[in-house]
Amino acid sequence: MTLVGRSLAASMGLPPFLCGIWMILFVFLEEVGGPFEEYSLEICNWVCTAIAIVVWVLIWRRRVIWTRRARIGTILSSSLLLFVAELVPLCRDFLSKYLGERWSIGIAGAMLGLWLMFTAFFWPARTTPAEERTQAGIHCLRCGYSLRGLTTTRCPECGFEPTMEVLCAAWVTEQGP
């Protein structure tokens, strides 16, 4: 399987994996009882949202250029998502009479889905086809951005700054004998 295919397959496994974990955890908390039973919805939503964020970042981390904007945007949006997953069930007493108790699961799930879709458009892609890289001349080892005409090895696109030795060694290897 290609690298992109692997990431896509792993991503498709995430929704059923999360549903399974949510249900197992929910049943477990109901069995344990006490304060866990009272807050089982909140705990399940929060744990599954946190797992989803971590797994998603792990699956795609090598395909994303982690610019400052991408890093800060991801941290802020995922914090907001975790906050919503926690806050929504806590409002259930206020809204449950209109919507029923289980509506909070739907909102937490929909918000998570929105966040995953948001990252697809927000995260800058790293991949550059091999021919394009060679044509671009000397380029960033991390994101493939052309370093032509620059006086330092620092990439203006992603901030990666290898030593001159590393950059030259990679360039020579890539050009072949």
CA 153/CA 48 separation, integer angstroms = 41
Judged by CB under 5 A, does residue 128 bind Zn ion?
no
Judged by CB under 5 A, does residue 160 bind Zn ion?
yes
Shortest reach from residue 4's CB to Zn ion, in Å = 20
Of the ranges 2-10, 35-43, 89-97, 152-160, which one interacts with Zn ion (CB under 5 A)? 152-160
Q: Is 149 left (phi over 0), alpha (psi -120 to 50) or beta?
A: left
Closer CB to Zn ion, 86 or 157, in the complex: 157
Judged by CB under 5 A, does residue 64 bind Zn ion?
no
Using CB under 5 A, which of 145, 146, 147, 153 touches Zn ion? Answer: 145
> What's the token pair of residue 169?
């060694």
Residue closest to 119 by CA, chosen among 67, 58, 57, 62: 57
Shortest reach from residue 165's CB to Zn ion, in Å = 18
Closer CB to Zn ion, 85 or 143, in the complex: 143
Using CB under 5 A, which of 81, 85, 143, 147 touches Zn ion? Answer: 143
* C-alpha 137 chain-centroid distance: 31
Judged by CB under 5 A, does residue 158 bind Zn ion?
yes
Element housing 158 (H / E): none
* C-alpha 41 chain-centroid distance: 23
Using CB under 5 A, which of 46, 67, 157, 170 touches Zn ion? Answer: 157
Phi, psi of 139 (to 5 degrees): -140, 165
CB count, 10 Å around CB of 40? 19
Closer CB to Zn ion, 88 or 143, in the complex: 143
Residues that bind Zn ion (CB under 5 A): 140, 142-143, 145, 155, 157-158, 160
